[in-house]
Amino acid sequence: MFSGVHVKICGFTREEDVAAAIAAGVWAVGFVCWPASPRAVTPDRLRALTADVPEDVRRVAVMVDATLENARRVRDESNISVVQLHGNEDPLQFLSLGLDVIKAVSLDSDAAVDRAAALPEEVIVLVDAHDPARRGGTGAHADWVRASALAACRPIILAGGLRADNIRQAIDQVGPWGVDVSSGVESSPGIKDAALISSLMKHAQ
């Protein structure tokens, strides 16, 4: 892997893009299960997109204000291994699914840093830009200063506006355990560009 930094690419809608990311060496591939997103996939598409992903690559279902019942159904009907929560969910409840749990947070205040630091260590914290309407994939940056403070307390995944031309700066400044990229490797929402993926991975080393 790339210097210990785990790279997740999110928002896939096409099998060929998933294959390109796997060939480039990503840690995880993400699929948006929120109908309001321009990158949303149906249950049938999620099943098809995750079917052939190797077991050593994490398969992440991204959900907003998910219920435990809905997340369980997604787990049972596809090959996901991680649920990523972008709403007001209690992440502890989702640990009962036997999946890894990622909780997205936006660090819009120092108090938000403290709340994220206090989350149980079993939960993976993802720091994204503050956008209560679109819930990620916007190309906007997270607060790198607060993210760095949180990364000093616990491992985090940094998201928000990351691309090949700023990924190295983000890693050096914040010190994240992992990074998460969506729009930064796209030609349009949900359509990934293999050359941009390859460039991102090279700069993340």
> Which residues are catalytically annotated?
10, 128
Check: CB of residue 87 under 8 Å from CB of residue 106: no
For tokens 């993926």, the residue is 197
Q: For the CA atoms of 127, 129, 135, 137, what is the dihedral angle to 10 degrees?
A: -100
Check: CB of residue 157 under 8 Å from CB of residue 180: yes
DSSP class per residue in 147-172 = HHHHHTTS-EEE-SS--TTTHHHHHH
The rounded Cα 177 to chain-centroid distance in angstroms is 12
Check: CB of residue 53 under 8 Å from CB of residue 18: yes
Tokens of 14: 């096409």
In 3-state terms, what secondary structure has residue 184? helix
Task: Give, to the nearest 10 degrees, the angle between helix 167-174 and helix 194-203.
Answer: 40
